[in-house]
């Protein structure tokens, strides 16, 4: 288990014998002090990390070629004091130099906690 400024990475990278992907996957967190929240990311059922601060982390090593399932669980870490504010976790991919959002999860007063799942095909 490795600890870094953004949280804790919990998973082991995709197996060394697996085909390499050419895309770069990144998880970004845009926190808001009025909506403190923690996000837990699982890739293919394995917990990869916990994120609660401003982050821009390369998660490519946890992605395998083909089908991948991202599950994001989010919950408040303090009171939600502003009904318009959001803390956002975004998973994106760089394909041939172009950024594309794969998944965006927002913690807000209207949606303070929950779980979202999405399956994508990595190349």
Measured CA angle at 8 (ends 44, 119), to 5 deg: 20
Query: In angstroms, rounded to a whole number, what is the distance separating the alpha carbons of residues 64 and 9?
Result: 17
**Interior CA angle at 11 toward 7 and 14, to 5°?**
130
What number of residues does the chain have?
123
Domain containing 73: what range? 2-122
pTM of the predicted model as reported, rounded to 2 decimal places: 0.82
Q: Tens digits of per-residue pLDDT, 39-91?
A: 999 999 999 999 999 999 999 999 999 999 999 999 999 888 898 999 999 99
Q: What percent of the chain has pLDDT over 90?
A: 71
For the chain, what is the domain count?
1
């Amino acid at each position: 288990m490795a600890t870094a400024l953004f949280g804790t990475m919990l998973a082991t990278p995709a197996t060394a014998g697996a085909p390499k992907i050419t895309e770069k996957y990144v998880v970004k967190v845009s926190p808001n002090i009025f909506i403190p929240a923690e996000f837990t990311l699982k890739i293919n059922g394995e917990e990869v990390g916990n994120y609660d601060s401003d982050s821009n982390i390369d998660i490519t090593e946890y992605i395998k070629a083909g089908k991948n399932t991202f599950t994001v669980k989010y919950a408040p870490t303090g009171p939600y004091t502003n009904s318009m504010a959001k803390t956002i976790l975004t998973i994106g991919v760089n394909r041939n130099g172009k950024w594309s959002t794969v998944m965006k999860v927002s913690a807000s007063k209207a949606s303070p906690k929950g779980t979202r799942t999405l399956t994508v095909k990595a190349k």
